[in-house]
Structure 1
Amino acid sequence: MNKYFDVTEKVFDITEKYPETLDVFASNGFEHLKNEAMRKIMGKTISLEMACKTKKVNLEIFENKLVETIRQTRESVDMGLNDTLKDSDGETRMLGVLPCPVRIPLMESFSKWLKEHEESLGTKIDYELKAANIGVDWIRSEIENSDADQLADLFMSAGFDLFFDEKLMGRFKKQGVFKDLSGFERLNRDLDNDRVSLKDPQGQYTVFSVVPAVFLVNTEELNGRKKPESWEELLSAEFERSVSLPLNDFDLFNALLLTIYKEFGEDGVRKLGRSHMRSMTPAEMVKSNIRNTASGIPTVTVMPYLFAGMVREGSPLKPVWPKEGAIASPIFLLTKKTSEERVKPIVDYLLSPEVGQLLATNGKFPSTHPDVENGLKEGQSFLWIGWDFINTHEDLGALIRYCMDLFYDESGVKR
């Protein structure tokens, strides 16, 4: 039981006490709760536990999402921060999601910067910067219902499907709506070198950080098998039904699917499906050696690099940076070309060495800023699908859906 609510409590009582959870409910299949009348009628008759059973939503995972959202919001309030600033006269609109581990320090830094530059900006700003665990459906719905003129001036988030799906940002990309305002000739050497380059050759998209996907190997579960040190070894028959994959972290999972598809083809995606054992939250990941369940203990967990560093000394869980490179899930910064003059100061702040170092240090999300020290060791390279792959596929969103079909056909997991 968490300290905020019990799963046997009525949905209405939880949302009444913690209104910040409404977005989480809505983005996980409970859209009707956004309607106040439905929230009062249905929410008072059904517990959280029963609601999850009805929608076939994993209760433990969903409870963790709610708790994280409440915790993040309460911390923001305690620090005098706000993830939303709405001004009816605001000329410039900014939408985005921030990785949970760095959201609080980023919001604190951004709020301070806004106060210091309020007069010199020359524009009033509306912004909504929510925690990543809430998801991006609230941004998605706006994009689907907007034309180029109605789009926000600046977007910040991870997500291949959000930014390249033809039904979403993909159609605006083809219209040349966006412009890379970084001004960087070259990105950080960790992310712009002979092996990999995250700099958009078309000058439209800006990547300002990445989430690296690595392995956490439970050495007690190897049972004579060699510890996997590469993606190729992870996809071998030895590790079928032995791997925990981040199915609920859509941005990271989509990056995994696309990269495995590019490197190993359809057969690789099918093998990834056969490797899958169960999904876990970050909290479960770093305790997976002691949290046995009916579905067993995974031998390998694919997770963000940040969480792999939280393993206690002496644990049988050992982080592995894959030999081919950690799969890179990029965090994008999109700015409308027509808004360049108004948003350039905001972009300069977001792409500053200070913000880049905060990302790299606090969250272990390597920055693309050329002057940031990401603290990576020799051999810690990246596996990135590349701009050629992105630009030669007509609809990356359709490719993601195709790869998901291949994966789920082999995984045995119900979608």
Structure 2
Amino acid sequence: MPKHITEWNIYDIMTRYPNTREVFVHNGFAPFADDAVLRQWGAMLKLRTALQAKHIQERWFLPLLEQKIEEAENAGLAVGAGPGSHVGRLNLLALLPCPLKVPIETELSDVLQRLQEKKGLKLNVCIESNADHPVKFLDYVKYFTEPDELPDIILLTGFHFMLREFVERFVETGIFTAVPNQDVNRRLTGTELVDADGHFSVIAANALVMVADIRRLGEVPAPQSWGNILQPAYEGKVVIRGHKGSFCDIVQLNYYKDYGAEGLAKLAKAVKYGLHPAEMVRELSSSRPQIPPIHIMPYFFARTLANHSHLEIIWPEEGALAYPILVLVKKDQLETVRELAECLTGPRIARICAGASFPAIHPEASWAIPSEARLKWIGWNFVKQQNIEQLIEQLNADFLAVQQAERADKKVAE
């Protein structure tokens, strides 16, 4: 078996030794059965990183691989020269909220075509919705150790690229940086949404609001602030984003920051269950009984319910819970991809975000939300001072523990 094969990427291994595919497919890497997935994602993912992320021990996996490689070498089935092809290396990876994927993909396709026609610059991009990508790239983030494992530009929503390991290796060292000279909407002054350290470019924000079903609330008043739903009257009356025991991190983080562990516990008592925002819309539009009357969802989804007279979209007094859509670019590749990076932080993409009810940073975009509305972001200082991954995991575990205890108490009472 070649030396240092753990430093080869998966694409190079499977291209050089096609018979190794079954080892990967049957041992934790089933998506690489698809040639398109292999070409796009496998070209970035080193074997060492892949095994670490999957918690697969090298001493167990490598003998399986070695057997297939020896078979290929002995039978003369090895193809090509080995690593270093860089086929499929990504210049841009964009993992976007569902409403933004198609319009941003369309806009970028025009930009990419112009770059190829005018400058002969062919850039390889991958644009996916947060829910659809076949390889869960974000699961690998904290295991990357080399810049060549990462795209030149990263565009995404959430905290995965704020993880301590990633920030220490790639951001604080200057390997990745914000896009310079970004124009900022004056309305965002005081929101702390823009990173003052210049590590991350923010192009827009996802804003979470409440939608209350007045009929289902009955005599209970509709909440006007985030703190209201911590009152006993709202226990079991709230739905937030959640799936298979994992609940919305930005909601949990805000309540923990503002109200501490006690506030998080009260939130857990208020939340009946979790749904995808699209499921919330269907639920509130239905006539089914026993539906919790308060749903916390992105403004994009809430806006689709505006014509229902019994539903009220509530922009809480403290502001909608906001979390940023981020751009990072490799500093040493900035000149090569500058036009693409500036497109992402420019007015056209900002208008797309605003049109989908994501408040945009660029001043040429409309505000996209009610003129008097405020945004509430937990703040870059809070994020950077935490081990954010550990905190998110701990808050979700504490949240679930309270809910499980509540269910157990109710069973005893019955």
Q: Structure 1: 5+ residue runs without aligned partners?
A: 1-29, 38-86
Q: TM-score, length-normalised on structure 2? A: 0.72
C-alpha deviation, 1:168, in angstroms: 4.2
* Aligned counterpart for 2:185 among listed residues 184, 188, 192: 188
C-alpha deviation, 1:34, in angstroms: 3.0
Q: Distance in 2 between matches of 1:250 and 1:321?
A: 27
Tell me whether 1:103 sits opposite 2:101 in the alignment: yes
Change (3 A) 1:287 1:139: closer
C-alpha deviation, 1:176, in angstroms: 3.0
Change (3 A) 1:143 1:405: closer
Contact 1:187-1:368 at 8 Å conserved across structures: yes
Contact 1:231-1:322 at 8 Å conserved across structures: yes
C-alpha deviation, 1:346, in angstroms: 0.7
Q: Distance in 1 between matches of 2:185 and 2:169?
A: 29
C-alpha deviation, 1:119, in angstroms: 4.0
Give the structure with higher Rg (CA): 2
* Aligned counterpart for 1:266 among listed residues 228, 236, 261: 261
Partner of 2:392: 400
Tell me whether 1:176 sits opposite 2:174 in the alignment: yes
Partner of 2:326: 332
Q: Distance in 1 between matches of 2:246 and 2:346?
A: 24
Q: Distance in 1 between matches of 2:147 and 2:153?
A: 12
Contact 1:243-1:275 at 8 Å conserved across structures: yes
Change (3 A) 1:334 1:277: same
Q: TM-score, length-normalised on structure 1? A: 0.72
Tell me whether 1:256 sits opposite 2:248 in the alignment: no
Q: Distance in 1 between matches of 2:251 and 2:341?
A: 28
Q: Distance in 2 between matches of 1:359 and 1:252?
A: 25
Task: Map 1:231-242 to 2 at 5 A.
Answer: 231-242=226-237
Partner of 1:3: none
Q: Secondary structure at the match of 1:405?
A: helix
C-alpha deviation, 1:412, in angstroms: 3.0
Contact 1:221-1:299 at 8 Å conserved across structures: yes
C-alpha deviation, 1:120, in angstroms: 4.0
Contact 2:241-2:248 at 8 Å conserved across structures: yes
Contact 1:282-1:307 at 8 Å conserved across structures: yes
Q: Structure 2: 5+ residue runs without aligned partners?
A: 1-26, 35-84, 408-414
Contact 2:202-2:324 at 8 Å conserved across structures: yes
Q: Distance in 2 between matches of 1:132 and 1:36?
A: 21
Change (3 A) 1:173 1:248: farther
Q: Secondary structure at the match of 1:355?
A: helix
* Aligned counterpart for 1:379 among listed residues 367, 372, 382: 372
C-alpha deviation, 1:332, in angstroms: 0.8
Change (3 A) 1:404 1:331: same
Contact 2:256-2:263 at 8 Å conserved across structures: yes
- Residues 168-196 of structure 1 deviation map (CA, whole Å, 9 limit, x = unaligned): 45542333322111412x62123x21x31
Q: Distance in 1 between matches of 2:245 and 2:107?
A: 27
Aligned Cα root-mean-square deviation (Å): 2.9
* Aligned counterpart for 1:282 among listed residues 270, 277, 281: 277
Partner of 1:80: none
* Aligned counterpart for 1:229 among listed residues 221, 224, 229: 224
Partner of 2:383: 390
Partner of 1:75: none
Contact 2:141-2:161 at 8 Å conserved across structures: no
Q: Distance in 2 between matches of 1:404 and 1:282?
A: 19
Q: Secondary structure at the match of 2:203?
A: strand
C-alpha deviation, 1:368, in angstroms: 0.7
Contact 1:93-1:125 at 8 Å conserved across structures: yes
Q: Secondary structure at the match of 2:324?
A: strand
User: Partner amino acid for 2:388?
Assistant: L
Tell me whether 1:203 sits opposite 2:198 in the alignment: yes
C-alpha deviation, 1:283, in angstroms: 3.2
Partner of 1:323: 317
- Residues 139-174 of structure 1 deviation map (CA, whole Å, 9 limit, x = unaligned): 4326624423432211111111x1122344554233
Change (3 A) 1:36 1:330: same
Q: Secondary structure at the match of 2:321?
A: strand
Q: Secondary structure at the match of 2:283?
A: coil
Contact 1:90-1:125 at 8 Å conserved across structures: no
* Aligned counterpart for 2:345 among listed residues 347, 351, 361: 351
Task: Map 1:26-65 to 2 at 5 A.
Answer: 33-34=30-31, 36=33
Range moving further from structure 2, 218-227 or 251-260? 251-260
Partner of 1:307: 301
Task: Map 1:149-160 to 2 at 5 A.
Answer: 149-160=148-159
C-alpha deviation, 1:137, in angstroms: 2.0
Q: Secondary structure at the match of 2:339?
A: helix
Q: Identity, % of aligned pairs?
A: 26
Q: Distance in 2 between matches of 1:150 and 1:34?
A: 18
C-alpha deviation, 1:320, in angstroms: 0.6
C-alpha deviation, 1:229, in angstroms: 0.9
Q: Distance in 1 between matches of 2:29 and 2:102?
A: 30
Q: Distance in 2 between matches of 1:293 and 1:316?
A: 14
Q: Distance in 2 between matches of 1:383 and 1:289?
A: 25
